[in-house]
């Protein structure tokens, strides 16, 4: 799932056994 915000792109990745979330500047 990817959510776009005005200043950055928020990435949420759900993998078996772990969750990762990070934001990257556009």
Amino acid 26: pLDDT: 58
Amino acid 2: pLDDT: 52
Judged by phi (left if over 0) then psi (alpha if -120 to 50, else beta), residue 7 lies in alpha
Contact (Cβ atoms closer than 8 angstroms) between residue 6 and residue 26: no
pTM of the model: 0.25
pLDDT in tens, 3-23: 555 566 666 666 677 777 776
Amino acid 8: pLDDT: 62
Instruction: Look up the domain containing 18 and give its range.
Output: 1-26
Report how many domains make up the chain: 1
């Amino acid at each position: 799932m990817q959510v776009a915000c005005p200043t950055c792109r928020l990435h949420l990745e759900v993998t078996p056994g772990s969750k990762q979330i990070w934001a990257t500047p556009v």
